[in-house]
Amino acid sequence: MFHGLTTRTFPGGVHPPECKHTSASASLEAPRPEKVILMLSQHTGSPARSLVSVGDPVVTGQKVAEKTGFISAAVHASLTGVVKAIEMRTGPAGNRSEAIVVEGSGPDEFRFLEPLDWATATPEALRNRVGEAGIVGLGGAAFPTEVKLAPPRPVDTLLVNGCECEPYLTADHRLMLEKPVPVLTGALIIARILKVNSVVVGIEDNKSDALEQLSRSARELAGTGVSIRVEAVRSKYPQGAEKNLIQVLLKRLVPPGKLPMEVGAVVSNVGTALAVCEAVMLGKPLYERMVTVSGCVRRPANLLVRIGTPISALIEACGGITEPEAAVVMGGPMMGLPLPSLDFPVLKGTSGLTVLGPDQLRNARFEPCIRCGRCVDICPMFLQPYLYALLADRGRHEDCEAAAVMDCIECGACTYTCPANRPLTQWIKLAKTKILQSRKK
């Protein structure tokens, strides 16, 4: 049931312009691409290992790469055609990995898994299916879902994250409006895997239509033995960060350096829940996802996109870029990655493409820190962003670690609010990278 609007929120946070105009229009299916580029490292963990060779025919849904190691994910063909190349490619984050290039040929053929009855299948069989389907977290982190659904300690609650607080992005909003029952069914399947009987769906109060839709669907699904509560939370960035959502909805604080399971919770994005439902009930592997294309494009839209589709094809499908000096960001303006080229492919974790005009881009010039304390006041993790930036700029990464820089969720709120225009998040990311590198030595 829906418990009504609430003023509950977390301390700190910011209110950037929402710019969520695409939420008003129904999603569209993106044109079938001529080729797809399937990165074998598009998830957290070890890269997948190719199961095909150049010249092999493949069909949509066929597993073309298997997971390697405990934290990894399989990759499936998103296009029927022929493997044209298996080559090293650079990903949007600068990482290098193998990629399988498939060139389309002829009409689509599909290879799905055998559907399962989720109400009678064992939790182990359901979790194995999630792994077979190559599902990862679709909220951005792309952590293999099969691993996430096997916490080493018992949990009591599943949180379904429908906040989508990043400006411009509305893909999750459209999923909740267009497929509310499959989204909640996916949540029930995850609850069965986790052996919990409490599901809480958190949605920001700027999505009243989604709140109503999921509340209605939750009533339709009553009688499963699992409680589904749909809760509204105040619209504020970064409300969708899982630790913030747990704090607001469950009144539990995840300790620094710990995971949600430490307080008895697992958090799943609504898109991930839908993918789980389709993998179990339809046998459908993860080879497509909803992507928001917004900003300075002629026809902003939410598109159902095949994974591996070149970014250039999506921009073209939306009528092209309207600003000559615009920047294309994979994700949203707060946490997204600026793309140096449109040749990169859509990944499993690609929630959107935001095209920002010159007037929306941050000036590269910045000033010395004035010790105003704004970044400290708005930090949702109670950290000291200004200090990390000063230390990282001087190469004092060990001091950053001692001051808990690894607890930063890289939401970008500090950079957004800084009156001196200092790139605080970038310095923090640098410090964390250096710390992780030193740990490997």
The CA distance from 38 to 46, in Å, is: 15
- 408 annotated as ligand-binding: yes
Q: Is 379 annotated as a binding residue?
A: yes
- Residue 237 contacts residue 413 (beta carbons within 8 Å): yes
Distance CA 46, CA 70 (A): 8
Nearest to 285 by CA among 91, 48, 11: 48
Locate 50 and state its tokens: 């190719």
Side by side, which strands form the sheet with 63-66? 49-50, 63-66, 75-76
Helix ranges restricted to H, 229-355 = 242-250, 270-281, 311-317
The reply to whether 418 sits in an annotated binding site is: yes
| DSSP state, residue 103 | E
Cα gap 162→176, rounded to integer Å = 8
* Strand spans (E) along 23-80: 28-29, 35-39, 49-50, 57-58, 63-66, 75-76
**Cβ–Cβ under 8 Å, residues 330 and 312:** no
Is 19 flagged in the annotation as binding?
no
Distance in angstroms (rounded) separating the CA atoms of residues 433 and 42: 18
Q: Is 165 annotated as a binding residue?
A: no
Closest listed residue to residue 202, CA positions, set 226, 238, 178:
238
Q: What is the DSSP string of 167-207?
A: TT--HHHHHHHH-HHHHHHHHHHHHHHHT--EEEEEEETT-
Identify residue 374 by its one-letter amino acid code: R
User: How many CB atoms are closer than 10 A to CB 6?
Assistant: 13
Sole residue written with tokens 């949007």: 92
Closest CA to 187 of 153, 154, 145: 145
Per-residue tokens: 328 = 């294309």
Q: Is 411 annotated as a binding residue?
A: yes
Element (H, E) at 102: strand 96-104
Token pair for 387? 């200090």
Amino acid at 394: R
Any binding-site annotation on 375? yes
Q: Residue 404 and residue 293: Cα distance in Å, rounded?
A: 35
Establish whether 369 is an annotated binding residue: yes
Annotated binding-site positions for [4Fe-4S] cluster: 369, 372, 375, 379, 408, 411, 414, 418
Annotated binding-site positions: 369, 372, 375, 379, 408, 411, 414, 418
